[in-house]
Amino acid sequence: MTDLLNLARQAVLTPSGLQDGDIEKIMNCLLSASVDDADIYFQSSHSESWVMEGGIIKEGSHSIEQGAGVRAVSGEKTGFAYSDRIELPVLLEAAGNVKAIVRHGQQAQMGMIKSAKWPRYYPIVNPLPSLATLQKIDLLKTVDSETRKLDPRIEEVIVSLSGTYENILVANQDGSLSADVRPLVRMNVSVIVEENGRREQGSMGGGGRSDYNYFIEQDRALNYGKEAVRQALVNLGAGEAPAGNMTVVLGPGWPGILLHEAIGHGLEGDFNRKGTSAFSGRVGERVASDLCTVVDDGTLPGRRGSLSIDDEGTPTEQTILIENGILKGYMQDKLNARLMGVKSTGNGRRESYAHLPMPRMTNTYMLPGQHDPEEIIKSVKKGLYAKNFAGGQVDITSGKFVFSASEAYLIEDGKITRPVKGATLIGNGPDVLTKVSMVGNDLELDSGVGTCGKDGQSVPVGVGQPTLKIDGLTVGGTSV
């Protein structure tokens, strides 16, 4: 761990000439007011992206983002300032500003600087140089040409590749210094196909906390292309989607976005502390059928939503949200945990040094059940099989959520019959899991594409689930 700390020190402090002693000075300035929590968050992040379109390497970009955020919390009050200049006078001024929110109290001192220990769930690696630039270009070109060969109806292929190398260092008032090195890579292939004047699109991608070799291993990159083309061709033959309330079977993996929207956000600590969530005050109550156990887990090795420590320096864990249908607990950051009298679950996340942390999901998924997926389809007389989704959204107060299918089929007499156009599905978060009547034995996690937005802050997340049967969800098609 000392190595990790030194690495982070080198990445975020050394360029600005800041020392541990300077961190103490800034912290002690914050601690001259009566605070419950105080932290300084240093971040340095290098990213690049490459785009191939129209058969050429069209764009490339490189960006560096670095800065520090200074926070003081007292009761429910938070003072916050940040700067992209990691310089002692600038950060001392920021500290002076933010403590103004807090009543004056006893002068405290930062504890002795010490480094904490915790397990790590991804390699300490900088993905950017993991392939030489020419190799990245070759990868894009290969995926582009191999994908174009798959079908004559392909009109356009867009391939993108991006990577981020991020170092963070969090100093807390007790003197603990936590660091993390966070690699993240992402690749995407989208295609447009045309037949008899009708155009459709398909898109597939993935990634994780790894380096670029991830896309070469197991032919992942080439498979994204195949999957994007398959989806687009299915949609070429899709008819009108049905409208109304019906039985819906959700496929495994990315459709787990249902869990993220329908219940995940509603179980974030801030909404529940404030009593603004449809799930507020319901711990111990039944919120799902007894087939459902849902967890949020930041500890899955190499996943896009995983973190070794959250952005407040708390190690992540597997948090049981719902066990056999009973609501067990919420996802917490430090502030909300303290105010609710529980401990942080390692879900305090922020988009960057320029944003305040709040309770956010990591990888949210449902544990597998007993049923063979085919058995589940067979049990449906008439309904919708939704295999793939675009985004979703939730109103955590009313509990209403939506998510949009991008690949769906009709189920008639226990068989998947024909594809239908994408449609939005809408439901009520606190009800939807009570209608889960079958859970498959085929748990899958998504391929590493999720980005979650809350209060204008975006963070990478993961979702997953086995095949699920829901007895009654509203499908927003046009065929009345």
Binding other proteins (rule: CB under 8 A), the pick from 76, 219, 285, 374 is: 76
Which one, 49 or 115, has the nearer CB to other proteins? 49
Binding other proteins (rule: CB under 8 A), the pick from 428, 434, 437, 441 is: 428
Cα 29–31–37 angle (5° rounding)? 130
Q: Give the whole-angstrom CA distance, residue 241 versus residue 231.
A: 16
- Which residues, in sequence order, are bridge partners of residue 179? 169
Q: Give the whole-angstrom CA distance, residue 152 versus residue 205.
A: 22
Q: Give the whole-angstrom CA distance, residue 229 versus residue 223.
A: 10
Minimum distance, C-beta of residue 243 to other proteins, in the bound complex (Å): 4
Residue 383 sits in the site that holds other proteins (CB under 8 A) = no
DSSP-derived 3-state class of residue 355 = coil
Q: Give the whole-angstrom CA distance, residue 72 versus residue 81.
A: 9
Which one, 340 or 426, has the nearer CB to other proteins? 426
Which one, 83 or 441, has the nearer CB to other proteins? 83
Binding other proteins (rule: CB under 8 A), the pick from 41, 42, 82, 365 is: 82
Binding other proteins (rule: CB under 8 A), the pick from 11, 131, 356, 366 is: 356
Q: Give the whole-angstrom CA distance, residue 53 versus residue 160.
A: 9
Task: Look up residue 239 and give its DSSP letter.
Answer: B
Binding other proteins (rule: CB under 8 A), the pick from 20, 84, 372, 412 is: 84
Residue 88 sits in the site that holds other proteins (CB under 8 A) = no
Q: Give the whole-angstrom CA distance, residue 365 versus residue 344.
A: 20
User: Which residues 10-39 are close enough to bind other proteins by CB under 8 A?
Assistant: none
Query: Would you tell me how many other CB atoms lie within 10 Å of the CB of residue 6?
Result: 13
Which one, 87 or 323, has the nearer CB to other proteins? 87
- Cβ–Cβ under 8 Å, residues 102 and 77: yes
Site mask for other proteins (CB under 8 A), range 95-134, x = bound: --xx-xx-------------------------------xx
Residue 201 sits in the site that holds other proteins (CB under 8 A) = yes
User: Which residues 231-250 are close enough to bind other proteins by CB under 8 A?
Assistant: 241, 243-245
* Candidate ranges 22-30, 144-152, 194-202, 218-226; the one touching other proteins (CB under 8 A): 194-202
CA-based radius of gyration for the chain: 24
User: Which residues 306-325 are close enough to bind other proteins by CB under 8 A?
Assistant: none
DSSP-derived 3-state class of residue 317 = coil
Binding other proteins (rule: CB under 8 A), the pick from 269, 427, 450, 464 is: 427
Residue 80 sits in the site that holds other proteins (CB under 8 A) = yes
Minimum distance, C-beta of residue 48 to other proteins, in the bound complex (Å): 8
Binding other proteins (rule: CB under 8 A), the pick from 21, 64, 89, 114 is: 64
Residue 56 sits in the site that holds other proteins (CB under 8 A) = yes
Residue 454 sits in the site that holds other proteins (CB under 8 A) = no
Binding other proteins (rule: CB under 8 A), the pick from 23, 79, 127, 373 is: 79
Residue 471 sits in the site that holds other proteins (CB under 8 A) = no
For the chain, what's the residue count? 480
Which one, 97 or 115, has the nearer CB to other proteins? 97
**Sequential DSSP letters for 255-280:** GGHHHIIIIIGGGBHHHHHHT-STTT
Task: Look up residue 112 and give its DSSP letter.
Answer: P
CA atoms 345, 349, 353, 354: torsion sign: negative
Residue 452 sits in the site that holds other proteins (CB under 8 A) = no
Tokens of 232: 């687009």
Task: Look up residue 282 and give its DSSP letter.
Answer: -
